Amino acid sequence: MHLLRQPEEKIKTFSNVLINARLNVGHCKKCFHLTEGTECEICLNSKRNKSLLCVVADSRDLIALERSREYKGIYHVLGGLISPMDGIGPELLNISALVQRVVNENTLEVILALTPSVEGDTTSLYLAGLLRSFVKVTRIAYGLPVGSELEYADDVTLSRAIEGRQEVQ
Ligand SMILES: [Zn+2]
């Protein structure tokens, strides 16, 4: 309804933007993030720490991590998570490309930033098993959302928060 009320010119511009996005946006040849070129802005940025590689399930997770402005390394987008129930095995994800990058690009640490779910945990374990002999593998800490009450947090979140505890500096 909102769109129908807009001037025709505005709708034309909007639909052109959509069509162009569909035609021109592809995947970065290195990290598989969405990009209009062959390599994405993050991979091309010389200020990013190329020895630190953060693994995410999809580009939405990458964008969320970028919003925090905390992370200065580069990424690898898997294109999903291992899910035997849905018939998604490791061969359907960008995993062999990840192993090649780690081996060829002097990666010092791989940070696994996958959702805390059965699929996320399965994928993390699988990747850690593959990569551990080449590189240091870490996992982001899972804890309590800011502003939440401890007493209302579920058991898994609480036990993860305890597990990921850090020394107070
Ligand atoms: Zn990239």
- The pLDDT of residue 70: 86
Q: Are 153 and 144 in contact (CB under 8 A)?
A: yes
| 48-100 pLDDT per residue, tens | 999 999 999 999 999 999 998 889 999 999 999 999 999 999 999 999 999 99
pTM score, whole prediction: 0.85
Compute the distance from residue 41 Cα to the ligand 1 centre, in Å: 7
Compute the distance from residue 83 Cα to the ligand 1 centre, in Å: 25
Compute the distance from residue 3 Cα to the ligand 1 centre, in Å: 34
Neighbours of ion ligand 1 (CB under 5 A): 28, 30-31, 33, 40, 43
Compute the distance from residue 128 Cα to the ligand 1 centre, in Å: 22
Residue 141, pLDDT above cutoff 90: no
Compute the distance from residue 31 Cα to the ligand 1 centre, in Å: 4
- The pLDDT of residue 100: 96
Nearest to 36 by CA among 49, 50, 48, 22: 22
Compute the distance from residue 140 Cα to the ligand 1 centre, in Å: 21
Domain 48-163 is of which CATH architecture? 3-Layer(aba) Sandwich (3.40)
Report d(CA 28, CA 39) in Å as an integer: 4
Residue type (1 letter), 155? D
- The pLDDT of residue 160: 84
| 100-122 pLDDT per residue, tens | 999 999 899 999 999 988 999 99
